[in-house]
Chains A and B, each alone.
Chain A
Amino acid sequence: MLSPDATLIDVAFAVCTALDHAGERALLVGGSAATFYAPDAYQSSDCDFILALGPDARDVTSSPESVGFHRVGEGIFRHADLIYTVEFPKGPAQIGIDYIVTHATVHRGDEILHVYTPTDVVRDRLIHFWAWGDYNGLRVALDVATARRSEVNYEEIVAWTDREFHAAPAAYDRVRRELFLADLRKILD
C-alpha cells in the first residue's frame, strides 16, 4: 500500500506493478515519464498510462484500487491521501505520426515500470514546443536530455523531426526545430 508521502514515481511503480500482476501492460507516458527521468526538473501531478494491449480504461478499475486509488471519472483515479491522479488516456501510444512500439522497462525491488525511453520523452515534450510554442515543454525536453544524456539518441530525434515536417509542414515551426536541435546537440556533445 502507498504511504501518504509517496512520490509520483512510487505511484507509477505501484500502479504499473498491480496492472502487470493482472496481466495488463501499461506504459507510463507524458509529463509523468519526464518526471521519472528528471524528477528535480519537472514534477507532474498525474500518472498517465496507456494500456498496450487488452481492455480499455473501463475494465482496469481493480488494479488501481488494489493500491488505494478509486475511480472518479472516465479513466481517472484518485487516492484519498495523495495529490497524484492516475489516468488512462486512450492509446495507442503515439508521438506525432510515430506509434511507440518499444519502451524501457525498469525494475525496483519487486516492482516493475514500463515507461517511454528518454529519447521518446524528449520527443514527446519537444513536440509541444515545436507545434504549440510551449516553452515549458522545451525546458523539460532539454532537462531530460541533460539528466539522461547518454540515453538520448540525437540522430533518432533529427530523423523523426524530418518525418514530421515532411508529413505536416504547416503544423511545425522550422526555426523552433533548429533552435532546439542546436541546444540538444550542445547538451549531448
Chain B
Amino acid sequence: MPAAPTGLFGSMIREEILKVVVGLDQGAYARQIAGLLERDLITVQRNLRTLEQDGILASRFLDRVRLFELNRRYRYYGALRALLQTMLHDDVRVRGLLEKIRQRPRRTGKPL
C-alpha cells in the first residue's frame, strides 16, 4: 500500500496549517486553526511550535491569545508567502473554510 502523501512541508496537516496562517492576515491562533480544520488541538499546537522553532512562523500575544503568522524575518519569507498563497488559492476546501471567517472591516454601529 502506498504511503499517504506528506506534501511539501513534511505532513499534510502542516501544509494546511500554513495555508490557514497565510490566509488569515491578522494572525491565527491554535484553537481557531484546529476548529477550522477540524483537527485535534494538541496536534495543531505541536505543529505550530515546530514551525516556529524552525523559524518559519513567528508568534505574538494579543491580549491572552497567541497569534501566529509567517515569520517576516525568515530568509525565504516573500517566496514562501507567495507559494502558500498560490497553494491556498488552488485548495478549494481550505479556501471554503476561510470564507466563513470575516476579515473585511465592518462599520461601527452596523447591526450584526
Contact = CB atoms under 8 A, between A and B. Distances in A.
**Chain A interface size range:** 20 to 34
Contacts of B93: none
Contacts of A136: 99-100, 102-104
B102 A134 contact: yes
Most A-side CB within 10 Å, residue of B81, B89, B102: B89
A50 to B, nearest CB: 12
B24 interface: yes
Interface in B58-112: 81-82, 85-86, 89, 95, 98-105, 107, 109-111
A148 interface: no
A135 B95 contact: yes
A46 B103 contact: no
A179 B107 contact: no
Contacts of A73: 109, 111
Most B-side CB within 10 Å, residue of A76, A128, A133, A139: A133
B103 A134 contact: yes
B27 to A, nearest CB: 11
Contact of B99 (A89, A132, A139): A139
A97 interface: no
B105 A132 contact: yes
A175 B105 contact: no
Given A132-B105, A133-B25, A136-B102, A175 B95 contact: no
B23 A135 contact: yes
A133 B105 CA distance: 11
Interface of B: 23-25, 81-82, 85-86, 89, 95, 98-105, 107, 109-111
